[in-house]
Amino acid sequence: MSSSIGAASAEASPPRTVGHPTPLVDGVDKVTGRARYTADLPHADALVGMILRSTVAHGTIVGIDVSAARALPGVRAVVTGDDFAAPYGVIPIAQNEWPLARERVRYRGEPIAAVAADDRASAEAALAAIVADIAPLSPVFTAQDALAEGAPLLHRDKAGNVEREVAQDFGDVDAGFAAADLVRERRFHYAEVAHGQIERNAAVASFDPERGELTSRSTTQVPYYLHLAIARCLGLDRAQIRITKPFVGGGFGHRVEPLNFEIVAAALARAAGATVRVEQSREDSFLTHRGRPETDIRLRLGLRAGGEITAVDCEVIQRGGAYAGYGVVTILYAGALLHALYRVGAVRYRGLRVYTNTPPSGAMRGHGAVDVRHAFEALLDEMGGELGLDPFALRRANLIEPPWRTANDLQVNSCALAACLDRVEEASGWRERRGKLPRGRGLGLACSHYVSGAAKPVQWSGEPHAVVNLKLDFDGSITLLTGAADIGQGSSTLLTQVAAETLCLPIERIRVVAADSALTPKDNGSYSSRVSFMVGNAALRAAEALRDTLVEAAARTLGVAATEVVWQGERCLVRGTDRELDFASVVAAALAGTGTLTVKGVWTTPSEMQGGRFRGAAVGSTAGFSYSAQVVEVAVDEETGAVSVEHVWVAHDCGFAINPLAATGQVQGAVWMGMGQALQEETQYHEGLALRPNFLDYRIPTIAESPPIDVTLVDSLDPLGPFGAKEASEGSLHGFAPALTSAIADATGIRLMALPATPDRVLDAIVRRRREARLESMRANRAAAAAGERTNP
Amino acid sequence: MGTRLLEVTVNGRTRCDAVDDATLLVDYLRRSVGLTGTKQGCDGGECGACTVLVDGAPRLACITLAASMAGRSIETIESLAAAGRMSPLQRAFHEHLGAQCGYCTPGMIMSAEALLRRDRAPTEDAIRAALAGNLCRCTGYVKIVESVQAASRALAEGER
């Protein structure tokens, strides 16, 4: 752990690096076009790999005849499901997907065969020559159909097409409802949405048959999980494999599990004994999917007159698609983060993750918790209205105070949600403006939270949660070696800042080498907003270890005790004297006799933050929860149903912003992604056929329709986070949708129970309300007339 | 399908390459010329990541035939830096975090470059209109608008 040697002076001076807006250390490469993403890697000799997809949503594979394809000129390899040793899946207990389908296909677009050829035309000809004999089975496309009595089963071992049924009970729910002054129950529906990262999927795999070595570079957020999957599926020893991650053009969860095209590229490379490049289309990305599942929620809440939540009863059904992926985790997250935001003592949660003949859903930014957050906040808002409570007062009535143990055994060590509420209340002019806006305009509030890293990794190996190495060499440069995957969120920059701050050195001295399994220590990957917290902590400890070594070397050279050395980075002093040593001399002293120095820092989440003892308790547990409050202002056109977002004010408790520039950008991006889902994004299928597998039909917001997003970063100085930091990448996403629908309710009186809030849904609700109002007034008139007849016979 | 010789200027250098009639400009730039700064994020004309300048006007390289570029002058993201120094737009996108993952960035900057060449001090609405064909999934566009505004200020202050 941390040593105090030389630390006194470092702590006495204000932070020089952390806490300051810092452009990305790899930013120049990005703006100049020099950054190489997977598809940019130069390989003149690479074969073109292509994948054949099923046109059948559910069927038995009678046979796949590849003989004609194999005989075509320029074709170097053809592989099918039979060429793999094992199925894969990111969760060890749910590995039921083959890189290329075996025996059965379960969704339209599922990969069934792949080829590697000299050029694209030859590869396309080979795909066309493959004869797939698939006997159709009855498909199920909705959760309701999949759950119906006698529905065809997707997986033999999963009765009723239920991948996972969750039942969690905390506290006395019945007593909680009995104690409530107001109980309401509502049903909500959420469309399936997709990540829409702008970079298309790609993989470049090379196989050297002479040495039996496989090298893979691909668009991944999780190089380590990909490493495991390729070893497993190809039957290779893990030591034969090298995974490197080039620049990655966004992820948002699409790439947090190994994906078929990456494993297929590796199989093709091995079969051809060559380098194979697989470049996927945008349509392929939509078919590979792993997005947020279509979700149905029934939610019942009990509130006291003062707004205190007395009980929660919730049922969630997720349409998971054809394979497991992260499904078990997603349905558990929905329950874990449903209520843990507030002071809640009684919870009944029922979750169903269902298999359907649609592309597999997976983890998407805000994993599992986005739709339940909408339901919860929306119902709170509605009930608060009935109770005559201001939305801010309602939230303030339910705030937790750290340290706090939630009903489901999650530990909260820091929480500045109260300050977040204060900030957005002020910034949005809520008190002056709410209720006084012109017709069609409205303000809505919602809160949210998220984990800073899942406390239990999916591969439970007993290793620390994060490891960072620092290498100091003769030239005085420090190389930070990390497996953490920078996918645009700025993790390499943050780790540089943490190390530089701890060593009191300028960030220019530190170079990051990331995500190359041959060089860098293993990292679990960029998901669950774990990197800043976990890898940041490992970097902090590595830098402390290096600083201690350098201080000791300086002390030896200066002939004083280490405690007498005042460490200032580029130079150090003997306390109370003017004797000093420059950094180069300290480095020379430290390397003398030992040579190049490599130190290590590790981080392990304390066990009390790893959740309770009930089944599924690990999901939701984390060492640090972020908190967020946001106010959304909307304008609703009641003639067309069009909703425009005029402004968003958001305050995010990220503990401490190590890089306020990146944290602000992440919060803006998260809020905005929430906006896309809330306003307009929605996949669509016709009998399993994806109808919107492109950016014209799947409409992510353009710059023309995107609002100003004012961010306030709120400090809570988490006791375990590096410099007090927590996550800033996901937790503000969840609050957007409920703030939006509450704003729409404020503007129009309409409460939307289904998202996205497309013009047709909004207009339907407006028309329905007008019709109900007309009927109401007709009934009232008739009743009045009848009463009149009785009094005036 | 035939093959022809294409004479074209790419980033100020005149070239002559054999191209198939069906070759797209994005593939010509990335594969034949070897300039991979120009990206492709969609299957044709949806995302704007491939935006380049053709005779100074923004154009989607993924729905432009290379063969149609005979005698034209093409500018890609690689042309903006001079002697290794970033252009005002590149510097602004770097310093104001207009780029997160960076994948939409080349197209975004080229669209903004075309805008600033015809209007050095665009209004926010003009910026939003000029970039409406360029999708970004990371930033929510807030810092992209700020980046273009910062570049506009830098131009006003006389930076190259």
* pLDDT tens profile A144-193: 999 999 999 999 999 999 999 999 999 999 999 999 999 999 999 999 99
CA distance A283 to A281: 5
What is the residue extent of each domain of chain B?
A: 3-79, 88-156
With contact defined as beta carbons under 8 Å apart, do A100 and A263 qualify? Answer: no
Check whether B130 has a pLDDT greater than 90.
yes
CA distance A397 to A308: 6
Check whether B69 has a pLDDT greater than 70.
yes
* Burial (CB count within 10 angstroms: exposed 0-12, middle 13-18, buried 19+), residue A4: exposed
Select from A27, A195, A281 the Cβ nearest to the Cβ of B43: A281
Question: In Å, how far are B14, B79, B88 from B73, measured between CA atoms?
Answer: 9, 12, 22
Q: What is the amino acid identity at position A280?
A: Q
Select from B77, B97, B135 the Cβ nearest to the Cβ of A33: B77
Mutate to test the interface with A, among B74, B137, B149 (most CBs of A within 10 A): B137
Q: In b/e form, how buried is each residue of A149-172, taking b as 16+ CB within 10 angstroms? A: eebeebeeebeebbbbebebebbe
CA distance A342 to A331: 20
* Chosen CATH of B88-156 out of 1.10.150.120, 1.10.630.10, 1.20.1740.10, 3.40.50.2300: 1.10.150.120
- Helix %, strand %, coil % of chain B (to 5): 40, 20, 40
Select from A42, A198, A490 the Cβ nearest to the Cβ of B135: A198
Is B42 in contact with A489 (Cβ distance < 8 A)? no
Residue B143: its chain A contacts at CB < 8 A?
A: 664-665, 668
Architecture of domain A409-456+621-759: 2-Layer Sandwich (3.30)
Residue count of chain B: 160
Q: What are phi and psi of B64, to 5 degrees?
A: -120, 130
CA distance B100 to A669: 10
A706 lies within 8 A of chain B by CB = yes
Nearest-by-CA chain A residue for B39:
A199
Residue count of chain A: 793
Instruction: Say whether B58 sits in a helix, a strand or coil.
Output: strand
How distant is the Cα of B96 from the closest Cα of chain A, in angstroms? 7
Instruction: Say whether B155 sits in a helix, a strand or coil.
Output: helix
Residue A601 tokens, joined: 């820092």
Is A703 in contact with B128 (Cβ distance < 8 A)? yes
Within 479-498 of A, beta carbons closer than 8 Å to B belong to 487-490
CA distance A620 to A612: 10
With contact defined as beta carbons under 8 Å apart, do A169 and A347 qualify? Answer: yes
Average pLDDT, stretch A499-508?
Answer: 97
Q: Pick from A316, A309, A383: which is nearest to A341 by CA?
A: A309
Check whether A6 has a pLDDT greater than 70.
no
Residues A710-750: tens digit of each pLDDT? 999 999 999 999 999 999 999 999 999 999 999 999 999 99
A35 lies within 8 A of chain B by CB = yes
Mutate to test the interface with B, among A30, A247, A661, A673 (most CBs of B within 10 A): A30
Q: Does domain A7-35+458-604 have CATH number 3.30.2130.30?
A: no
Average pLDDT, stretch A765-779?
Answer: 94
How distant is the Cα of B83 from the closest Cα of chain A, in angstroms? 12
Q: What is the DSSP annotation of A626-651? A: EEEEEEEEEEE-TTT--EEEEEEEEE
What are the beta bridge partners of residue A516?
Answer: A244
Residue B111: its chain A contacts at CB < 8 A?
A: none
What is the residue extent of each domain of chain A?
A: 7-35+458-604, 38-139+195-288, 409-456+621-759
CA distance B29 to A451: 43
CA distance A701 to B144: 14
Question: In Å, how far are A278, A568, A778 from A485, measured between CA atoms?
Answer: 21, 31, 63
Question: In Å, how far are A348, A413, A617, A753 from A170, measured between CA atoms?
Answer: 6, 21, 12, 27
pLDDT band at A13 (very low <50, low <70, confident <90, very high): low
How distant is the Cα of A488 from the closest Cα of chain B, in angstroms? 3
How distant is the Cα of A372 from the closest Cα of chain B, in angstroms? 23
A697 lies within 8 A of chain B by CB = no
- Rounded to the nearest integer, the mean pLDDT of chain A is 96
- Which CATH number does A38-139+195-288 carry? 3.30.365.10
How distant is the Cα of A651 from the closest Cα of chain B, in angstroms? 16
Q: What are phi and psi of A473, to 5 degrees?
A: -125, 180
Residue A501 tokens, joined: 């701050």
Q: Are strands A213-218 and A111-117 parallel, antiparallel or unpaired?
A: unpaired
Kindly list the strands in the beta sheet with B3-10, ordered across the sheet, starting from the edge strand earlier in the chain.
Answer: B13-20, B3-10, B73-75, B51-54, B57-60
Is A665 in contact with B103 (Cβ distance < 8 A)? no
Q: Pick from A674, A634, A645: which is nearest to A447 by CA?
A: A674
Within 293-352 of A, beta carbons closer than 8 Å to B belong to none
Residue B78: its chain A contacts at CB < 8 A?
A: 32-34
Is B103 in contact with A37 (Cβ distance < 8 A)? yes
Select from B86, B129, B141 the Cβ nearest to the Cβ of A31: B86
Residues A578-628: tens digit of each pLDDT? 999 999 999 999 999 999 999 999 999 999 999 999 999 999 999 999 999
Within 528-587 of A, beta carbons closer than 8 Å to B belong to none
How distant is the Cα of A470 from the closest Cα of chain B, in angstroms? 25
Is B138 in contact with A490 (Cβ distance < 8 A)? no
Nearest-by-CA chain B residue for A27:
B94
CA distance B53 to A756: 36
> Which pLDDT value is given to residue A1?
36
Residues A454-500: tens digit of each pLDDT? 998 888 889 999 999 999 999 999 999 999 999 999 999 999 999 99
Q: What is the DSSP annotation of A544-606? A: HHHHHHHHHHHHHHHTS-GGGEEE-SSEEEETTSS-EEEHHHHHHHHHTTT-SEEEEEEE---
Q: What are phi and psi of A659, to 5 degrees?
A: -125, 95
CATH fold for domain B3-79 = Ubiquitin-like (UB roll) (3.10.20)
How distant is the Cα of B70 from the closest Cα of chain A, in angstroms? 24
Residue A673: its chain B contacts at CB < 8 A?
A: 137, 140
> Which pLDDT value is given to residue A44?
87
With contact defined as beta carbons under 8 Å apart, do A726 and A624 qualify? Answer: yes
CA distance A7 to A687: 64
Q: Pick from A744, A500, A493: which is nearest to A641 by CA?
A: A744
With contact defined as beta carbons under 8 Å apart, do A348 and A312 qualify? Answer: yes
Is B100 in contact with A488 (Cβ distance < 8 A)? yes
* Burial (CB count within 10 angstroms: exposed 0-12, middle 13-18, buried 19+), residue B4: middle
Q: What is the amino acid identity at position B129?
A: A
Instruction: Say whether A292 sits in a helix, a strand or coil.
Output: strand
A704 lies within 8 A of chain B by CB = yes
Residue A110 tokens, joined: 């599922």
With contact defined as beta carbons under 8 Å apart, do A469 and A481 qualify? Answer: yes
With contact defined as beta carbons under 8 Å apart, do A410 and A170 qualify? Answer: no
With contact defined as beta carbons under 8 Å apart, do A487 and A250 qualify? Answer: yes
Per the listing, tokens 């946001």 go with A630
- Helix %, strand %, coil % of chain A (to 5): 35, 25, 40
> Which pLDDT value is given to residue A792?
64
Percent of chain A with pLDDT over 90: 96
Is B94 in contact with A27 (Cβ distance < 8 A)? yes
Q: Pick from A31, A35, A27: which is nearest to A496 by CA?
A: A27
Instruction: Say whether A83 sits in a helix, a strand or coil.
Output: helix
A37 lies within 8 A of chain B by CB = yes
CA distance A250 to B140: 13
Q: In b/e form, how buried is each residue of A525-540, taking b as 16+ CB within 10 angstroms? A: bbbbbbbbbbbbbbbb
How distant is the Cα of A659 from the closest Cα of chain B, in angstroms? 11
With contact defined as beta carbons under 8 Å apart, do B131 and A703 qualify? Answer: yes
CA distance B145 to B125: 10
With contact defined as beta carbons under 8 Å apart, do A445 and A739 qualify? Answer: yes
Is B37 in contact with A282 (Cβ distance < 8 A)? no
Within 650-679 of A, beta carbons closer than 8 Å to B belong to 661-662, 664-666, 668-669, 671-673, 675
> Which pLDDT value is given to residue B115?
98
How distant is the Cα of B67 from the closest Cα of chain A, in angstroms? 19
Residue A251 tokens, joined: 């992820």
A692 lies within 8 A of chain B by CB = no
Is B106 in contact with A488 (Cβ distance < 8 A)? no
Within 365-404 of A, beta carbons closer than 8 Å to B belong to none
Residue A767 tokens, joined: 């028309």
Per the listing, tokens 């009094």 go with A791
Q: Pick from A719, A774, A777, A768: which is nearest to A748 by CA?
A: A768
Residue A679: its chain B contacts at CB < 8 A?
A: none
CA distance A371 to A334: 8
Instruction: Say whether A18 sits in a helix, a strand or coil.
Output: coil
Per the listing, tokens 């305050």 go with A651
Q: In b/e form, how buried is each residue of A368-389, taking b as 16+ CB within 10 angstroms? A: bbbbbbbbbbbbbbbbbbebeb
Q: Do domains A7-35+458-604 and A38-139+195-288 have the same CATH topology?
A: yes
Outline where chain B has alpha helix (H): 25-27, 88-95, 105-118, 124-130, 142-156
Q: What are phi and psi of B124, to 5 degrees?
A: -60, -40
A36 lies within 8 A of chain B by CB = yes
Residue A30: its chain B contacts at CB < 8 A?
A: 93-94, 99, 101-102, 105
Is B143 in contact with A665 (Cβ distance < 8 A)? yes
> Which pLDDT value is given to residue A10?
46
Nearest-by-CA chain B residue for A668:
B140
Question: In Å, how far are A24, A39, A672, B75 from A27, measured between CA atoms?
Answer: 5, 19, 22, 21
How distant is the Cα of A692 from the closest Cα of chain B, in angstroms? 12
This model of the complex carries an ipTM of: 0.98
Check whether B63 has a pLDDT greater than 70.
yes
